Structure 1
Amino acid sequence: MKQEFNAVIKQHGEKNASFIEPPFDVKEVFGSKRVKVKATFDGVEYRGSVVSMGGCYMLGITQEIRNKIGKGFGDEIFVTLEKDEEERSVEIPEDFGREMNNNEAALATFKTLSYSAQKEYITWITSAKREETRLDRIAKSVVLLSEGKKLR
């Protein structure tokens, strides 16, 4: 059951972080206070979770999405939301996978991370503009993971 509505991009405190508030009772519509969703913001696709915080429901919008749609805090956007029941998994780049396979502790930690935490590692690695930076990030990731740490 897809929900479609207009929403205003709100700023989270003083941070460069934003969210929208669905104009309906999320628990009533989706059956849970926290629900994984497939969303679009002005047509740009996103997978995330609607959560209840401080008495209201919210869904975060990444800075990358705000840049793609050319909108910021206070702007109105068209949103679609539907419950996401597909399994979430990240595609591990070959070079990163090879390095993790050489370190049992790193691989074990990576497998225990949530989809979002895994995606954060992958995005950090694949967003490197230079090969040298990418290799450095892979090495740092393997060290952090072998120590049982998330990226942030």
Structure 2
Amino acid sequence: MTTIDAKSRFEAKLLRPAQPGNDTSWAFVVLPRDASEQLPRRGRTTVEGTINGHPFQATLEPDGQRSHWLQVGSALLEAAGAAVGDIVTLELAPVKKEPEPDIPTDFQEALAATPEAREVWNNTTTIARVDWIHWITSAKQLKTRAKRIGDACEMLAAGKKQVCCFDPSGYYSKAFRAPEVDDF
């Protein structure tokens, strides 16, 4: 891996997601593989950067193809003077220190109910906590999510500081991918 000071500059097309959910105002960019290779990890990674010269900080998601994708919300699109279909210039660099992840409420409650797990959780690295949360929130069904929360508490209570059997890049498990593109 490269150093934390690596900065990538590239141009990319703003794409419209085929299934944007309730918010139809966002776009996304898939990073070129060489830009992604400059990042410290294949899983979720927080970057600082600019889009058309406008600064932002965001967490890149793994695309399952050994690269990442970036969701660009409506406020950032407007600030950058960009729209879906435009070619934009991006500069990205990993943050010096990964920010603490938000802990989902259901997982917070489970940790609170399991003091041994909470103690180990508090002594893990930020990156490990990002991976635990990513593993839990990537479950497609509520039943699977609930099982993962229970399993996480058991593993943490047993002293395990990192989630096992989880590919944070999605490459081997094909668990993650960039959104499908709407052919606008």
TM-score with structure 1 length normalisation?
0.55
Q: Residue 90 of structure 1: SS of its match in structure 2? A: coil
Q: Deviations over 1:55-87 (max 9, x none)?
A: xxxxxx833584747xxxxxxxx6523463567
Deviation at 1:102, TM superposition (A): 1.3
Q: Does residue 116 in structure 1 map to residue 130 in structure 2?
A: no
Q: Does residue 151 in structure 1 map to residue 163 in structure 2?
A: yes
Partner of 1:62: 62
Deviation at 1:21, TM superposition (A): 3.9
Task: Determine which of 151, 159, 162 is the counterpart of 1:140.
Answer: 151
Give the count of matched residue pairs. 112
Partner of 1:5: 9
Q: Distance in 2 between matches of 1:126 and 1:3?
A: 29
Query: Which of the pair is proportionally richer in helix?
Result: 1
Q: Retained in 1: the 8 A contact 2:139–2:145?
A: yes
Q: In the alignment, residue 5 of structure 1 is paired with which amino acid?
A: R
Q: Deviations over 1:29-61 (max 9, x none)?
A: xxxxxxx972469899436xxxxxxxxxxxxx8
Q: In the alignment, residue 46 of structure 1 is paired with which amino acid?
A: T
Unaligned runs of 5+ in 2: 11-30, 40-44, 71-88, 165-184
Task: Determine which of 32, 37, 48 is the counterpart of 1:20.
Answer: 37
TM-score with structure 2 length normalisation?
0.46
Q: In the alignment, residue 122 of structure 2 is paired with which amino acid?
A: K
Aligned-pair identity in percent equals 20
Q: Distance in 2 between matches of 1:145 and 1:79?
A: 39
Q: Residue 5 of structure 1: SS of its match in structure 2? A: strand
Unaligned runs of 5+ in 1: 11-17, 23-35, 48-60, 70-77
Q: Deviations over 1:17-36 (max 9, x none)?
A: x94248xxxxxxxxxxxxx9
Q: Distance in 1 between matches of 2:144 and 2:94?
A: 37
